[in-house]
Amino acid sequence: MRVLALACFAAMLGTSCSSLPESAEELEATEETGYFSNLRQLTFGGQNAEAYWSPDGTKLVFQSTRGDASCDQIYVMNADGSDQRMVSTGQGVTTCGYFLPDNNGIVYASTHLVGSDCPPRPDRSQGYVWPVHAGYDLFLTDIDGSEPKRLTDTAGYDAEGTVNWADDKIVYTSMASGDLDLWAMNLDGSNKTRLTTTFGYDGGAFFSRDGMSLVLRANHPAEGADSDRYTELLEQNLTAPMRMELFLAEADGSGMRQLTDFGCASFAPQFTSDGASIIFSSNKNDCDSRNFDLFMIGVNGSNLRQITDFGGFTSFAEFSPDGTQVVFSSDREASSPYEFNIFVADWNGDATSP
């Protein structure tokens, strides 16, 4: 949110949101981009973010703060926005739901074992910071929200889990090493393996559809004041998100290479279905701005182009498994401040251009 989900952006803002209407039909949006057509709004009111497809393309899992709730829970809905229902426990705060290869299981992070209330908001006297709650652990449930199975028990942050559908691996960000590194494990939580070792934050990782590659966001602070600041914040279970770049690696974390060098906040990267390009969110047009739009870049660093120009915040784009649609979260046409909704559109762009 996450903005950038270090947990998840909508949950980081620390503001109230509007109530969801009792019923909401699919809305046909009028504003489009050259890359999109048939743009539809799937949620209406509240803070809704990080919608990700099921492998068969029929459902979406997402996080939402809605109604009387004051922090995020995990929901599932049909790909047309119908049948929205909570699948997490309703306690604590949750983030980053993702489907397992069977179209039924869901992995997500939650703090419900350390308390039923929402955790305290971060101290913004230290600037714009994200909490990396020590109470987060990863859990498995099914689309009926059955009793969640705990997968991690690190004395610190375990969250941001996504799944390699090709080889049944979960990648996630963990404090198990004392730093915010990428780790991988089997779907049952076994065989936990550290993937990154560079000092600094590595997270928000996603696999290519063929399961061979990873894309992630990272902040590797330079020695001196930057690294001191990173360490100071981490000791308070906080991190600063406004300077993050995108990196590519093999699925096992090897061969890491930097993809962007904007000096801004770039995050929520996802491969196109053919693996040739990355779609991501960034404020690269003004690094001090809170305005984020979608961009695309080839995996070789070429052919950078801007996909949306809505103004405000647009992020968390993911292509459907067949590559014909893209889902994303945005505050476009929001009816109240800090309202974020989920949209889906047909994809017209050339997603295969390197």
Whether 1 is covered by a domain: the verdict is no
How confident is the model over 251-294, as pLDDT tens digits? 999 999 999 999 999 999 999 999 999 999 999 999 988 899 99
Paired strand residues for 13: none
Domain containing 243 equals 9-347
Half-sphere exposure of 176 (CA within 13 A, CB side): 21
Q: CA torsion sign, 143 to 146 to 151 to 156?
A: positive
Structure tokens at 281: 């969110």
The helix or strand, by DSSP H or E, that contains position 330, with its residue range, turns out to be strand 325-330
pLDDT band for position 142 (cuts 50, 70, 90): very high
Q: Which has the higher per-residue pLDDT, 349 or 290?
A: 290
Q: What is the pLDDT of residues 189-229, one digit of tens each?
A: 999 999 999 999 999 999 999 999 999 999 999 999 999 99
For residue 124, being part of any structural domain is answered with yes
Averaged pLDDT, 317-328: 97
108 falls within a domain: yes
Evaluate whether residue 353 is within a structural domain: no
Number of domains forming the structure of the chain:
1
Instruction: Say if 35 falls within a structural domain.
Output: yes
Count CB atoms within 10 A of the CB of residue 313.
24
Q: Quick check: is 222 in a domain? A: yes
The DSSP string of 14-71 is ----PPPPS--PPEE-----TTEEEEEE---SSEEEEEEE-TTSSEEEEEEE-TT-SS
What does each C-alpha distance from 213 to 183, 216, 218, 252, 296 come to in angstroms?
14, 10, 16, 8, 17
Q: Report whether 76 contacts 87 (CB < 8 A).
A: yes
In a domain, 2, yes or no: no
Per-residue pLDDT band at 10 (split at 50, 70, 90): very low
* Bridge partners, 329 (sequence order): 315, 342
Tell me the pLDDT of the chain averaged across its residues. 89
C-alpha closest to that of 139 among 156, 158, 155, 116: 158
pLDDT (tens digit, 9 = 90+) per residue, 58-110? Answer: 999 999 999 889 999 999 999 999 999 999 999 999 999 999 999 999 999 99
Looking at the domain assignment, is residue 354 inside a domain?
A: no
CATH number for the domain including 127? 2.120.10.30
